[in-house]
Structure 1
Amino acid sequence: MLLQHGTPVALTDYAYLLTSLAGITVAFLVLISEQRWHRLFTALDAAVIGFWAVAGANKTLAVGLGWLPAVLLGTLTAVGGGALRDVILGRMPAVFGGNGLYATVALAVAAVTVLCWYLGVPGIGVGLGVTLALVLRLAAVRYGWNLPSGLDWRRRSRPATRRGGKSRSRKESS
């Protein structure tokens, strides 16, 4: 949609609708324990980050934009899709923290996809991107890898005060 290049493919290719219906059917019919579902969801989410980052980067390159917009839109596609899914499920979007390298994985996958495109092997970029997403994201979750948190910008000291604990006003100090 950001590229404004034609109708979204999901609206023109019935395979997307059929795939969604198949997924709904499987989810409805198969009973999975909560622990198994959590592990499965983490793995599927890792793969989906890879697929969306690859798709966003490839679509951007296909319309003639350069490497930087491709990396940015690949990352935005993966992160935005995951955040939208989490909001629909009533969960805190994973990209907002407490997770293992969510957006960083999408950025790395998009960059690898773009590199493979420029090397003339876009098909390898798809496979390598999804594999990279699986490996990095699952390792980050398993080993607790996170980026450093931001700086603490809270004031550490109290403002200067006059004897007796009262601040001096400008009139008093003149």
Structure 2
Amino acid sequence: MTPVLDLVGIFVFALSGALEGVRKRFDAVGIAVLAFFTAVGGGIVRDLFIGVQPAALRDTGYLLVPIAAAVIAFFWHRQVERAMPGVLVFDAAGLGLFCAVGTSKALYYGLAPMHAVFLGVCSAVGGGVIRDVLSGEKPTLLYDRELYAVPAMLGSTMMAVLYALGVRGFAATLSSAVVAFAFRILAMRYRWRAPLARGLTARE
């Protein structure tokens, strides 16, 4: 992932975290904390599992971008909320990029394909889980009714398969990201939902 795409994905995720802080009536510090961990929490978890220093703790951009998103949400949250359909498209793009790059990085450091897929999903949805826990919500990873983790899993799996076939670099990353992105967009468009246990009905 290029630094620009990386920071764009971080910004969108940070914005979703900051908006959640606004909805929960957090103060400025709480909004900033939620923005930061939503944006980079998944990557930090991935890097800790791999055993390398988290990129979010080396590059100041990983700190400044979430702060910028928090400031925007703090002052202009009503305007951002009105633009949410567009923001969700960028969020889906960030999901695709993060799951592909997370899987690729895990494979590069020698993890087995299944473990790499797991860490790819962690990269994509880990920040959202931290956001939900900090804000007192049920983590979407455990209640994937909007098909958020499933697209990340598909993108991560495709990345692992392409890596095994010798297809690597930008082509593999883009292909895997597009698969996750397209599935997420279709899930939002047609309101696809993950199945519940047999005999249970949805409460939405």
Give TM-score, length-normalised by structure 2.
0.63
- The residue that corresponds to 1:113 in the other structure is 159
Q: Which structure features the higher share of helix residues? A: 2
- The residue that corresponds to 2:83 in the other structure is 36
RCO comparison, higher one (Cα < 8 Å, 6+): 2
- Post-superposition offset of 1:106: 1.0
- The residue that corresponds to 1:124 in the other structure is 171
- The residue that corresponds to 1:6 in the other structure is 52
Q: Is the 8 A contact 1:114 1:125 kept in 2?
A: no
Among 146, 149, 157, the alignment partner of 2:196 is 149
The CA distance in 1 between the partners of 2:138 and 2:68, in whole Å, is 27
- The residue that corresponds to 1:172 in the other structure is none
- Post-superposition offset of 1:41: 4.1
Gaps of 5+ in 1: 154-174
Change (3 A) 1:33 1:20: closer
The alignment status of 1:101 with 2:165, answered yes or no, reads: no
Amino acid aligned to 2:182 = V
- The residue that corresponds to 2:111 in the other structure is 65
Amino acid aligned to 2:159 = T
- The residue that corresponds to 1:76 in the other structure is 122
The CA deviation string for residues 99-131 of structure 1, in whole angstroms up to 9 with x for no partner, is 332221111010112223232322112222322
- Post-superposition offset of 1:98: 6.2
Amino acid aligned to 2:176 = G
Number of residues paired by the alignment?
151
- The 3-state SS of whatever aligns with 2:183 is helix
Change (3 A) 1:95 1:6: closer
Q: Which has the greater radius of gyration?
A: 1
For residues 153-164 of structure 1, what are the structure 2 equivalents within 5 Å? none
- State percent identity of aligned pairs: 30
Q: Which moved more, 1:113-122 or 1:63-72?
A: 113-122
Gaps of 5+ in 2: 1-47
Q: Is the 8 A contact 2:147 2:184 kept in 1?
A: yes
For residues 47-62 of structure 1, what are the structure 2 equivalents within 5 Å? 47-62=93-108
**Structural RMSD (CA):** 2.5
Q: Is the 8 A contact 2:107 2:116 kept in 1?
A: yes
- The 3-state SS of whatever aligns with 1:32 is helix
- Post-superposition offset of 1:25: 4.1
Give TM-score, length-normalised by structure 1.
0.72
Q: Is the 8 A contact 2:96 2:180 kept in 1?
A: yes
Change (3 A) 1:47 1:87: farther
Amino acid aligned to 1:141 = M
Change (3 A) 1:48 1:56: same
Q: Which moved more, 1:13-22 or 1:137-146?
A: 13-22
The CA distance in 2 between the partners of 1:40 and 1:55, in whole Å, is 23
